[in-house]
Structure 1
C-alpha cells in the first residue's frame, strides 16, 4: 500500500512543474518567476533522484529524473525570456546536484535531508521575494504552487511511512514555505487583476 502511495506522490510531484511550464509558454513571459528557484529545483531534483537509487525507492528514481529534465526546461525558458546566456546559468545546478549527492554518499540520509532542505528553502524564499517585488506576477502559476504543496504533503507522509528522515525533514519545510508562496501568489494576482480592471 505504501508503494502505491509513493507512486501517487511521485505522479503529483512530477505534474507540479507542468502548469508553470505551460504558464510561461502561453504568457510568453517569466514575470515573477524566480530563476534561482528553478536552478535550485533542477539541482535538488537530480539529487533526490540519486537518493531514490541509493535507498531503493523507485518512486523517487524515474519521476525525479523526469522532473529534473522539466526543471531544466523551465529554467531555459526563463533564461531565454530574460535574454541571458544559458550555459553559464546551468553550471550552478549541476555543481549543486553533485555536491548534494556527495553529502548523501559521505554522511547518509539524515545529513542529506538537513542539507538538501537549505537550497530548497532558499529557492522558495527567492520565489517569495520575486512574488513580493514584481509589479505583476503574471508569469507565476498558482496551479504549480498548489500542486507543489499537495505533492510535498504526500511526500512528507510517505517519508513518515517509509521512515525516510531526509524526506520528512525536507518535505515538511517545503510544505510550510510553499504554502506561504501560494497564499502570496493568489493575493498578488488577485490584486493585479483588480488593478487592471480599474
Structure 2
C-alpha cells in the first residue's frame, strides 16, 4: 500500500473539517464567535506545512494545505467583510 494514499485520506478528512464553518459564515453573513486570531495562526501553520510538503516532495501534504489555506482565507475574508454587521 502506498503511504501517500493514507496521506490523501487524512488530507481529505482534515481539510473538509473547515467546509461547514465556511458554509455557516457564508450563509448567515455572520462571523460572530469565530476567532480571527485562531484562523491567522492556523493559516501560518498551514503555510509552513505546505512549505514542508514541498521540501520533502509530499504531494498529499502540499495539496491538503493549499486547499485548507484557501478555506481559511475564505473564512478570514468573510470575517473582515462582515465585521461590524454582527
TMscore range, shorter length: 0.7 to 0.9
Determine if the alignment matches structure 1 residue 67 to structure 2 residue 43. no
Summarize deviations over 1:96-145 as a string: whole Å, max 9, x none: xxxxxxxxxxxxxxxxxxxxxxxxxxxxxxxxxxxxxxxxxxxxxxxxxx
Q: How many pairs were matched up?
A: 83
The residue number in structure 2 matching 1:4 is 5
Aligned-residue Cα RMSD (Å) equals 1.2
Task: State the secondary structure of the residue aligned to 1:59.
Answer: helix
- Choose 1 or 2 for highest CA Rg: 1
TM-aligned CA deviation for residue 9 of structure 1: 0.3
* 2:22 paired residue number: 21
TM-score, normalisation: structure 2: 0.86
Q: Note the C-alpha offset of 1:50.
A: 0.7
Greater share of helix: 1
The answer (yes or no) to whether the contact 1:49–1:65 under 8 Å persists in 2 is yes
Cα distance in 1 for partners of 2:75, 2:43 equals 9
Give me the whole-angstrom Cα distance separating, in 2, the residues matched to 1:62 and 1:79: 26
Corresponding residue of 1:140: none
Q: Is the 8 A contact 1:42 1:69 kept in 2?
A: no
CA distance in 1, matches of 2:52, 2:60: 11
Runs of 4+ residues over 6 Å off in structure 1: none
CA offset digits 1:32-71 (Å, max 9, x no partner): 1101111112211111111111122111012211211211
